[in-house]
Structure 1
Amino acid sequence: MSDPTTPDPAPEAPGPTTVPAGTATVPAGTAVEPTAVAGEPTVESAAEPLVTVVIVNWNGAHLLPACLDGLAKQVTGFAFETWVVDNASADSSRALLAERYPWVQVVPSETNLGFAGGNNLALRAVTTPYAALLNNDAVPEPDWLANLLAPFDAPGGDRLGAVTGKVVFLPRFLRLRLSTPTFTPGPHDPRQLGVRVSSVTVDGRETLREVLWEKLTFGAEGGPDAPFFWTRGDGELCVPVPEGGPVTLGFTWAGQAAKPVTLSWDGGSVTLDAGAEPSTVEFTVPGDVARVDVINNVGGIVLRDGYGADRGYQQIDTGQFTRPEEVFTACGNGMAIRTRLGHELGWFDDDFFLYYEDTDLSWRIRARGYTIRYIPDAVLRHVHSASSVEWSPLFVFHTDRNRLLMLTKDASARIAVAAVARYPLTTTSIALRTLRQAWTARSLPPLRPTWLRLTVIASYLRLLPAMLARRRAISRTASTRRHELENWLVRR
């Protein structure tokens, strides 16, 4: 990605088949009354801008060049506008936009409104027939926007509320399998653990936060400042690597005792030692080992216990999602929605700030009787969690709280009440287990996880009256009943 402190020559605005938004700046809080659109223009026939691409940015000067350069290369048969909402950035984002991207319309906010509120600041002023959302850490393929809007003109497009595309992780990956003997930590932790990994380097560069661990580890531990991962005894990990040539990988790890660890790849393997104390090992993988693309999102699902999930998450992209199909939810990174419908629904829920806001909006789109379609040819490459760290308190607070808020608004009473009641019970169980472990180890118990869950409960209860009012409003305008929508929910 370009270094914003050393500006490259300003890229040209989108080519002759697109129309840039100009240099005007929309003041924060400006609202444009939505206009009813009778007989929306088709994708092929629009002379005026057909879609507004909205990007929310917070301290993303290092991310914006790749994103906006990708938009400048879009090949479309229609005009579009590009708006960047700057969420009170403290870096050089606004100077970068003014100097290198004068064709981008800037929507400034003097406070950080999050993903939901930041998008809403722009979306409530959009008057083009469609709005498309793009993360500042995503890079669109040249035909992304054209392919994203095409389904609205296809047969059955009149009842299509939103379209979502394929999101793959930005780098390409080396696919590895780890295998090692396991142990059980104790009576209060029944996990079968392999080794504790605290660092992964590629040619000397730290990549621990960029490795895809879903099929190997139990999730991040240790907090955002010093994260580590306990592995299972056997599983797959994907390490981001350069496109060609041999790479030297380094692992810093430890076990409960000395043990062998085998790492294998297509055509080779290596067995290394891990001890009771952290140590670093290195090995080189040949340059001809295949690199793979890994899926971030191909539409969304909601599980029957109320958890949202990315469909296809961390699967190797082998062409298994090449068919357009209806999905339950759209991803907020790379979705297009009818503007008129968005205005009717009120866009995102401002109270969500970030996470689950796209699942909530998708649920409300479906309650109005509209469908959501996945299009595999609308491709984005995404830097996963570039703006927030998955294991950070920010992430945990908003994903936990917003899941409960979403279910309170959108799900049947049976599912919503079960999920909300389960949360304080789980919190109590975690607190008791933590106290038992601390007593056994004769140490002070870690209080932060329990305290974080208590703040989730307090924030949920504060917002509960508003969510119940919104639930009633959704019921009054719904054309599809909640129990019908829940036929889409997936069992674990």
Structure 2
Amino acid sequence: MKRISAVIVNWNDKETLARCIRSLQQQTHGDIEIIVSDNASSDGSQAMVKEQFHETFLIENPDNLGFGTAVNRGFERASGDYLIFLNNDLEFAPDSFAILVDALESVPGIGAVIPKILYSQKQNAINSLGVNIHCTGIAYPRMLDEPDCDDLAPEEVACGGIFMMRREVYEELGGFDEDLFLYHEDHDLSWRIRLAGWRLLTNPRAVFHHRYHFNKGKMKYYHSEKNRLHLLLKYLELKSLVLLAPPLLLVELAQWAHSLMHGWFFLKLKSYGDLLDLLPRILVKRRRLQSRRAVADREIARLFSSDLQISGVQSLALDFFLNPLLKAYWLWIRRYL
């Protein structure tokens, strides 16, 4: 039987973490290595794991390293054939990991497989089935708030959210980019999986449950905006960046307006400054990735969404001006990528 290594990232949420570990222990797949990568919690999380979950391996990070770096520390310890990274606010249908493994073993060319995630708080409502990426880099949960149904078919997607991957995929790609700290780490790794020629496939039969709470904090906007531009600079071919300059400028103007209206204007400024500080490192990674890419932007772009949605933002200007304009432009230029 192939071993699964599951890394849970935790920061100051011991009760939620305990529920997640117990749910993992109820999986029908018989060989799951559970690793908790704790980001210097002060609420007793580490003591709780030691006292209640003796077979769980605990990594006590000295500081809050962010999500991606904490996952990397966990996978450095992992011995599994398949790897999955988890938020601590997830629980799982008992057969979900076995279904994900079966999908990876039965479909050639699949580097990672993505479960269906339902809300814990809402009856029969989808939280995500993969992630949609817009051509401007804005990402949002695929099928968000749509009613659950049993006849959803597996589909190839541009991006995961939570996904199980082959160990060789993770090792080939070098894990998570530790410059991102928080938000878009999963999008970043998904993009590299696609660039390397692997596919990402959803499997709606594997069901996770998520205690989801939308974070409207200003720091979320800061990290998301900085990392969105980071990914575009790192992954898009030069021709694509030139063709996408007009919609990128429009979205920047829209984000400026949003930041002014909602009090994160100076964090938007800070995101540019911090991105400039990282630019030499981004360019080094860009040269390496572009020289090794197995798939052109034209192939990746076929899975981009033409519909722009911004989580937590409802706007007539977005719905009736910006979105139709961006959609028309994208449908015109993607043939030239």
Instruction: Verify: 1:82 aligned to 2:34, yes or no.
Output: yes
Cα deviation, residue 429, structure 1: 5.2
Query: What is the one-letter code of the residue matched to 2:120?
Result: L
Cα deviation, residue 427, structure 1: 5.9
Cα deviation, residue 329, structure 1: 1.1
Calculate percent identity across the aligned residue pairs: 30
Cα deviation, residue 430, structure 1: 6.0
Alignment coverage as a number of residue pairs:
304
Contact 1:57/1:86 (8 A) holds in 2: yes
Cα deviation, residue 406, structure 1: 1.0
Instruction: Verify: 1:475 aligned to 2:290, yes or no.
Output: yes
Give the corresponding residue for 1:67: 20
Give the corresponding residue for 1:161: 111
Give deviations 1:302-323, integer Å, cap 9, x for gaps. 1122211211011122446x21
Cα deviation, residue 413, structure 1: 3.0
Give the corresponding residue for 2:320: none
**Aligned counterpart in structure 2 of residue 301 of structure 1, from 132, 135, 139:** 132
Give the corresponding residue for 1:119: 71
Instruction: Verify: 1:93 aligned to 2:45, yes or no.
Output: yes
Q: Distance in 2 between matches of 1:68 and 1:309?
A: 27
Give the corresponding residue for 1:354: 182
Cα deviation, residue 423, structure 1: 6.1
Query: What is the one-letter code of the residue matched to 1:105?
Result: F
Query: What is the one-letter code of the residue matched to 1:65?
Result: A
Query: What is the one-letter code of the residue matched to 1:83?
Result: I
Aligned counterparts, 1:26-37, within 5 A: none
Instruction: Verify: 1:487 aligned to 2:318, yes or no.
Output: no
Contact 1:160/1:372 (8 A) holds in 2: yes
Q: Distance in 1 between matches of 2:27 and 2:54?
A: 17
Structure exhibiting the larger radius of gyration computed from Cα positions: 1
Query: What is the one-letter code of the residue matched to 1:61?
Result: K
Cα deviation, residue 379, structure 1: 0.8
Cα deviation, residue 467, structure 1: 1.2
Give deviations 1:153-177, integer Å, cap 9, x for gaps. 21x33x11111100011123xxxxx
Contact 1:86/1:107 (8 A) holds in 2: yes
Instruction: Verify: 1:310 aligned to 2:125, yes or no.
Output: no
Contact 1:360/1:410 (8 A) holds in 2: no
Q: Distance in 1 between matches of 2:287 and 2:297?
A: 12
Cα deviation, residue 457, structure 1: 1.1
Contact 1:164/1:373 (8 A) holds in 2: yes
Q: Distance in 2 between matches of 1:125 and 1:421?
A: 43
Aligned to 2:77, the other structure's residue is in SS state coil
Q: Distance in 1 between matches of 2:206 and 2:221?
A: 30
Query: What is the one-letter code of the residue matched to 2:143?
Result: G
Aligned counterparts, 1:22-421, within 5 A: 45-46=1-2, 50-76=3-29, 78-154=30-106, 156-157=107-108, 159-172=109-122, 292-319=123-150, 322-332=152-162, 335-385=163-213, 390-416=215-241, 418=245, 421=249
Cα deviation, residue 482, structure 1: 2.2
Contact 1:325/1:373 (8 A) holds in 2: yes
Contact 2:256/2:268 (8 A) holds in 1: no
CA change 1:295–1:142 in 2 (3 A) is same
Q: Distance in 2 between matches of 1:100 and 1:345?
A: 35
Q: Distance in 2 between matches of 1:59 and 1:478?
A: 39
Q: Distance in 2 between matches of 1:137 and 1:429?
A: 33
Aligned to 2:8, the other structure's residue is in SS state strand
Indicate the structure with greater helix content. Answer: 2
TM-score (norm 1): 0.59
Q: Distance in 1 between matches of 2:227 and 2:142?
A: 19
Q: Distance in 2 between matches of 1:395 and 1:380?
A: 24
CA change 1:338–1:428 in 2 (3 A) is closer
Q: Distance in 1 between matches of 2:85 and 2:258?
A: 38
Which region of structure 1 is more displaced relative to structure 2, 338-347 or 418-427?
418-427
Q: Distance in 1 between matches of 2:26 and 2:114?
A: 20
**Over aligned residues, Cα RMSD in angstroms?**
2.0
Q: Distance in 2 between matches of 1:135 and 1:427?
A: 28
Query: What is the one-letter code of the residue matched to 2:17?
Result: L
Query: What is the one-letter code of the residue matched to 1:60?
Result: D
Contact 1:404/1:420 (8 A) holds in 2: no
Cα deviation, residue 415, structure 1: 4.8
Contact 1:407/1:415 (8 A) holds in 2: no
Contact 2:136/2:248 (8 A) holds in 1: no
Q: Distance in 1 between matches of 2:204 and 2:164?
A: 14
Aligned to 1:325, the other structure's residue is in SS state coil
Contact 1:126/1:339 (8 A) holds in 2: no
Query: What is the one-letter code of the residue matched to 1:468?
Result: L
Cα deviation, residue 428, structure 1: 5.7
Cα deviation, residue 325, structure 1: 2.0
Query: What is the one-letter code of the residue matched to 1:302?
Result: I
Contact 1:58/1:87 (8 A) holds in 2: yes
Give deviations 1:159-198, integer Å, cap 9, x for gaps. 11111100011123xxxxxxxxxxxxxxxxxxxxxxxxxx
CA change 1:414–1:398 in 2 (3 A) is farther
Query: What is the one-letter code of the residue matched to 1:461?
Result: L
Query: What is the one-letter code of the residue matched to 1:337?
Result: M
Aligned to 1:309, the other structure's residue is in SS state strand
Query: What is the one-letter code of the residue matched to 2:277?
Result: R
Aligned to 1:348, the other structure's residue is in SS state coil
Give the corresponding residue for 2:264: 449
TM-score (norm 2): 0.84
CA change 1:424–1:297 in 2 (3 A) is closer
Contact 2:219/2:267 (8 A) holds in 1: no
Q: Distance in 1 between matches of 2:304 and 2:291?
A: 23
